[in-house]
């Protein structure tokens, strides 16, 4: 007994080892068969990761798996993916592996496909990407296909998807989450196929969505007459969402198409069946919904499916005197009437039409009625619609479980009749868009991603004309803004139905208009947002607007500016707002503006020309950061300003100018202006360095200047100021970063030099001596908040010396040309005897003056620079230096720079 068990155990172990090892013997043969089958039957490029064989997985059958298959098309869909599949499995008898594939086909018994994506496409020229099978060179051999023959007993498709796209007909069909299985005997002439199918279905025709991820189910027993290629629905029930549909009839495959004869209807007639059609995401749980009335779907599909024709259609959806009420909502929808037909009597796809004779309902005492016809649905669809009724929008969410970001409110009254074709809507062909009637909305709240704040429309009254909509009245508030408008709208249907821009011309009035209330907060995540959890907000002008607004506003708030009595024209198009001829009262003066703001690119930009007349300087420069950066000293001025400014640059996320990008120019004129230097650190330091200046008495009457700025730097064209009889020449630049670099040259008259210098000048009997000025330079650096001031006296002393010599030279010229030439020659050459003679003849005036200024070197006179003898002193020269030093706030012992 033990020996028998041992033999049995060894035998079983040998069989198991053989079952495990045998696939390796046939692996290469199976791979070659698969490749040969593909090459013989498909005009496409096929890739797969591996082909494996197992005797254990489907024992006693052999199990073959092809993993990670990918099929891509040849021309005219070159390199486009036709199908991908994670795994395709076949089962077959083990004996099939011993066949010679070149002599007899291998019989396949079952197929399983996992996670496949099949993309079917028809381009605009009518070419199909699924025409990839090669023509059968031996059409008589109908039982084989290359190296394989199919005797299917069961098949499965798991978690797969099918996408059909037709550019020719503008049809998009998506079948997702597809699970389908069937069992039957395909080799018998007549048999039955038992199938179970579940999937989600979406259908869009000509940009109109008819099904949106609707759940469909079909459990069908199908009779198969294989010799006649006829498949008959025997015992079956399908579901559209939760609506059950029973099918009867057949589909027969013919040489030139399919013959279809199917009837269907819902077995139940309760109105709850209607709610079951609506996807559960919208209808929620309908199990406890109270309903009355009936709902019936009944249809016939009959005729030929060919390249030129479709079956005729006669589908009817009806409901009469129905109602429903959700248990957790306060309102009831009643008096529901639905009468809809989908018909095609010719078999021509273009002749299919939808006739909604009635779609009526009532909530409380509000009755709403509508009807519509849709024709030429696969081409340029024709629409004819009538709306007549009253609807309290707030009752919608009280009667039906709508998920809305902002609750609806307001009363809608409409009596509108319209007809149009979709191409006219798309191309703005207004002559083909007909409308008549009126619509009135009161107390309506409109919220949109395109607006920063909800808009509360207290009243909107519109009259529909053949080609336009007249806005008779519009009163609304949003944020802190109020609006009142009248005008015309040109493509309201295009805006509502196909995301077209809203075009119009409006006259707008506002008491208070806050620009930021009409700008979108578009949240965009930065590339590193996941790590630092930061977001940036980009303000956007609504893309859907294309309008001209003639505006009058008592107050317009932009950033921190309050503009009064605003009048102008605003053009909005392509995310750009253009201001034309805008006038306003601002800073107790008048403002004129032309320019634009654009948010079309990632970074918003602006470009404006501004004219100011009679601005209050202190208010203007306190209220405008940009002006403070352009002319920071101006905020200490009291008076009026006329200016023109041209500027452009980028805007930041708060819609204010990014100063580092701003460039432009400014021309300014001051009127009756005074300077308050006590508040300025810069002016205080200048007064400390220049004791003879009181900046509060600076003469700024009729002052004009020109400024240019770019890349964060402001350059000032050289200009002159006047303090009493002192002329001040100013030049230089500063940065928006507060860094400064200016030079101010004070041309000081000689009378400010004190009695010692004036006595020296008085010894020269010449009127020019009264006009002597000394330039004192102040170099201003540092920053606006921490300025530095350095003074330079060297040029002042040198200049005084030159002027005195020049005056004396002119005086001597009057005493004789030759004598003057000798005198000047001796003076320049340093001839001591003749120089002494000249000085003697002039009553020692020149000696006193030049000696006092130039110093004690008796052998040489330097007329271009001040030289001092460290061992000797000169009272007159010291007097000059001390006086100049005193003017600059220094003591006698201070070093003169």
> In sequence order, which residues have a C-beta less than 8 Å from that of residue 595 and are 6 or more positions away?
578, 579, 606, 607, 608, 609, 610
Band of the pLDDT at 669, cuts 50, 70, 90? Answer: confident
Rounded-to-integer distance, Cα 756 and Cα 853, Å: 11
Band of the pLDDT at 146, cuts 50, 70, 90? Answer: very low
Over the stretch 378-414, which tens digit does the pLDDT of each residue have?
A: 778 899 999 999 999 999 989 998 887 777 889 999 9
Rg of the chain over CA atoms, in angstroms? 48
Strand partners, 383: 374, 420
pLDDT at 768: 59
Cα-Cα-Cα-Cα dihedral sign, residues 853, 855, 861, 863: negative
Q: Which of 63-67, 756-760, 810-814, 872-876 has the highest mean pLDDT?
A: 63-67
Cα-Cα-Cα-Cα dihedral sign, residues 15, 18, 23, 25: negative
Judge whether 641 and 670 are in contact, CB under 8 Å: yes
> In sequence order, which residues have a C-beta less than 8 Å from that of residue 371 and are 6 or more positions away?
356, 357, 358, 359, 385, 386
Measured at the CA of 505, the angle between CA 504 and CA 509, to 5 degrees, comes to: 125
> How far apart, in Å, are the Cα atoms of 760 and each of 53, 749, 784, 796, 803?
122, 14, 41, 16, 13
pLDDT at 791: 82
Q: Which of 328-342, 486-500, 799-813 has the highest mean pLDDT?
A: 328-342
How much is the mean pLDDT over the chain? Answer: 78
Q: If DSSP codes are grouped into helix, strand and coil, which group holds residue 691?
A: coil
> How far apart, in Å, are the Cα atoms of 722 and each of 595, 710, 749, 880?
37, 29, 12, 24
Over the stretch 460-488, which tens digit does the pLDDT of each residue have?
A: 999 998 778 999 999 999 989 999 999 99
pLDDT at 39: 64
Over the stretch 413-445, which tens digit does the pLDDT of each residue have?
A: 999 999 988 888 777 777 788 889 999 999 998
Strand partners, 463: 438, 470
In terms of Cα–Cα distance, which of 856, 850, 845 is closest to 804? 850
DSSP letter string over 14-55?
HHHHHHHHHHHHHHHHHHHHHHHHHHHHBSEEEE-SEEEEEE
**Is pLDDT above 70 for 572?**
yes
**Is pLDDT above 90 for 510?**
yes
Q: Could you tell me which residue, 329 or 811, shows the higher pLDDT?
A: 329
Rounded-to-integer distance, Cα 126 and Cα 288, Å: 49
Band of the pLDDT at 814, cuts 50, 70, 90? Answer: low
Token digits for 166? 């037709």
**Is pLDDT above 80 for 740?**
yes
Of the listed ranges 42-51, 263-272, 657-666, 881-890, the least confidently predicted one is: 881-890
Q: If DSSP codes are grouped into helix, strand and coil, which group holds residue 199?
A: strand
> In sequence order, which residues have a C-beta less than 8 Å from that of residue 107 and are 6 or more positions away?
92, 93, 96, 148, 149, 150, 151
Strand partners, 722: 699, 727
Q: Could you tell me which residue, 158 or 889, shows the higher pLDDT?
A: 158
Rounded-to-integer distance, Cα 459 and Cα 470, Å: 14
Rounded-to-integer distance, Cα 357 and Cα 274, Å: 17
Rounded-to-integer distance, Cα 743 and Cα 727, Å: 14
**Is pLDDT above 50 for 876?**
no
pLDDT at 533: 43
**Is pLDDT above 90 for 584?**
yes
In terms of Cα–Cα distance, which of 48, 7, 6, 56 is closest to 30? 48
Q: At what angle do helices 817-829 and 832-841 cross, to 10 degrees?
A: 130
Q: How many CA atoms lie within 13 A of 745 on its CB side?
A: 14
Over the stretch 631-656, which tens digit does the pLDDT of each residue have?
A: 887 777 778 889 999 999 998 877 77
Q: If DSSP codes are grouped into helix, strand and coil, which group holds residue 895?
A: coil
**Is pLDDT above 60 for 870?**
no
**Is pLDDT above 70 for 234?**
yes
Over the stretch 244-278, which tens digit does the pLDDT of each residue have?
A: 888 899 999 888 889 999 999 988 888 888 887 77
**Is pLDDT above 60 for 874?**
no
pLDDT at 660: 84
Give all strands (DSSP E) within 168-242, no chain letters: 171-183, 190-205, 208-225, 230-240
Average of per-residue pLDDT across 35-45: 70
> What share of the chain in percent tops pLDDT 90?
29
Token digits for 3? 């020996």
Judge whether 682 and 787 are in contact, CB under 8 Å: yes
Alpha helices in 334-453 (DSSP H): 396-399, 422-427
Pairing of strands 171-183, 576-586: unpaired
pLDDT at 860: 33
Band of the pLDDT at 843, cuts 50, 70, 90? Answer: very low
In terms of Cα–Cα distance, which of 584, 589, 586, 644 is closest to 614? 589
**Is pLDDT above 90 for 50?**
no
> In sequence order, which residues have a C-beta less than 8 Å from that of residue 562 and are 6 or more positions away?
555, 556, 586
Average of per-residue pLDDT across 11-29: 46
Average of per-residue pLDDT across 573-592: 92
Kindly tell me the burial class for residue 504, based on how many C-beta atoms sit within 10 Å of its own C-beta (0-12, 13-18, 19 or more): buried
């Amino acid at each position: 007994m033990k020996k028998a068990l041992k033999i049995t155990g060894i035998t079983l172990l040998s069989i198991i080892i053989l079952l495990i090892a045998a696939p390796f013997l046939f692996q290469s043969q199976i791979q070659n068969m698969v490749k040969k089958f593909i090459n013989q039957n498909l005009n496409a490029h096929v890739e797969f990761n591996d082909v494996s064989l197992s005797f254990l997985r489907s024992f006693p059958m052999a199990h073959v798996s092809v993993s990670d298959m990918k099929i891509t098309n040849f021309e005219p869909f070159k390199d486009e993916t036709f199908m991908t599949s994670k795994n395709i499995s076949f089962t077959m008898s083990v004996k099939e592996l011993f066949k010679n594939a070149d002599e007899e086909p291998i019989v396949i018994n079952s197929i399983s496909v996992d996670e496949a994506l099949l993309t079917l496409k028809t381009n605009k020229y009518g070419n199909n990407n699924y025409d990839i099978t090669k023509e059968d060179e031996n059409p008589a051999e109908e039982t084989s296909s290359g190296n394989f023959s199919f005797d299917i007993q069961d098949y499965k498709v798991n978690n797969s998807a099918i996408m059909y796209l037709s550019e020719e007909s503008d049809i998009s069909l998506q079948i997702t989450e597809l699970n389908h299985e069937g069992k039957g005997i395909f080799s018998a002439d007549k048999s039955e196929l038992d199938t179970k199918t579940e999937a989600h279905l979406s259908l869009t025709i000509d940009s109109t969505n008819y099904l949106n991820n609707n759940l469909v189910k079909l459990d069908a027993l199908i009779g198969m007459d294989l010799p006649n290629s006829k498949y008959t629905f025997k015992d079956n029930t399908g579901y559209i969402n939760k609506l059950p549909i029973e099918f009867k009839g057949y589909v027969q495959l013919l040489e030139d198409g399919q013959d279809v004869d199917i009837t269907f209807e819902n077995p139940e007639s309760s109105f709850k069946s209607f709610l079951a059609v609506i996807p559960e995401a919208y209808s929620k749980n309908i199990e406890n919904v109270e309903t009355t009335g009936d709902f019936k779907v009944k249809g016939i599909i009959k005729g030929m499916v060919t390249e030129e024709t479709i079956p005729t259609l006669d589908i009817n959806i009806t409901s009469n005197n129905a109602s429903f009420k959700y248990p957790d909502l306060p309102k009831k929808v009643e008096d529901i009437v639905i009468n809809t037909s989908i018909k095609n009597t010719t078999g021509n796809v273009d002749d299919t039409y939808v006739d909604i004779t009635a779609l009526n309902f009532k909530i409380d005492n509000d009755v709403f009625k509508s009807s519509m016809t849709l024709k030429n649905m696969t081409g340029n669809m024709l629409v004819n619609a009538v709306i007549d009724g009253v609807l309290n929008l707030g009752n919608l969410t009280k009667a039906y479980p709508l998920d809305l970001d902002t609750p609806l409110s307001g009363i809608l009254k409409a009596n509108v009749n319209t007809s149009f074709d979709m191409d006219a809507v798309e191309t703005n062909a207004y002559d083909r868009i007909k409308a008549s009637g009126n619509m009135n909305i009161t107390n309506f709240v409109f919220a949109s991603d395109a607006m920063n704040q909800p808009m509360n429309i207290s009243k909107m009254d519109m009259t529909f004309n053949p080609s336009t909509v007249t806005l008779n009245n519009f009163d609304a508030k949003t944020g802190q803004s109020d609006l009142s408008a009248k005008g015309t709208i040109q493509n309201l249907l295009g805006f509502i139905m196909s995301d077209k821009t809203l075009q119009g011309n409006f006259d707008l009035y506002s008491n208070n208009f806050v620009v930021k209330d009409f700008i979108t907060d578009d949240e965009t995540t930065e590339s590193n947002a996941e790590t630092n959890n930061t977001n940036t907000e980009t303000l956007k002008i609504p893309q859907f607007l294309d309008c001209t607004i003639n505006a009058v506003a008592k107050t317009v708030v932009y950033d921190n500016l309050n503009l009064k009595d605003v009048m102008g024209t605003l053009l909005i198009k392509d995310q750009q707002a253009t201001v034309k001829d805008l006038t306003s009262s601002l800073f107790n003066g008048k403002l004129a503006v032309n320019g634009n703001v654009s948010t079309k690119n990632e970074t918003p930009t602006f470009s404006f020309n501004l004219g100011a007349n009679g601005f209050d300087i202190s208010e203007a420069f306190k209220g405008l950061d940009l002006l403070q950066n352009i002319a920071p000293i101006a905020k200490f001025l009291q008076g009026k300003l006329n200016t023109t400014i041209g500027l452009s640059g980028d805007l930041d996320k708060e819609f204010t100018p990014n100063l580092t990008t701003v460039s432009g120019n400014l021309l300014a004129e001051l009127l009756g202006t005074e300077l308050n230097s006590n508040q300025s650190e810069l002016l205080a330091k200048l007064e400390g360095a220049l004791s003879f200046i009181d900046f509060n008495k600076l003469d700024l009457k009729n002052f004009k200047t020109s400024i240019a700025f770019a890349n964060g730097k402001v350059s000032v064209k050289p200009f002159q100021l006047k303090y009493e009889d002192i002329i001040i020449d100013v030049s230089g630049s500063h940065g928006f970063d507060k860094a400064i670099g200016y030079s101010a040259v004070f041309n000081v008259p000689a009378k400010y030099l004190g009695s010692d210098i004036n006595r020296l000048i008085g010894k020269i009997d010449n009127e020019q001596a009264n006009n002597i000025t000394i330039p004192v330079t102040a170099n201003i650096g540092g920053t606006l908040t921490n300025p530095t001031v350095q003074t330079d006296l060297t040029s002042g002393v040198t200049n005084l010396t030159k002027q005195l010599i020049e005056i004396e030279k002119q005086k001597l010229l009057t005493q004789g040309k030759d004598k003057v030439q000798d005198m000047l020659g001796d003076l320049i050459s340093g001839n001591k005897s003749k120089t002494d003679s000249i000085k003697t003849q002039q009553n020692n005036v020149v000696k006193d003056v030049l000696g006092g200024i130039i110093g004690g070197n008796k052998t040489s006179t330097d007329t271009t620079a001040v030289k001092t003898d460290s061992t000797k002193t000169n009272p007159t020269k010291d007097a000059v230096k001390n006086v100049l030093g005193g003017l600059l706030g220094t003591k006698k012992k201070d070093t003169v720079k």
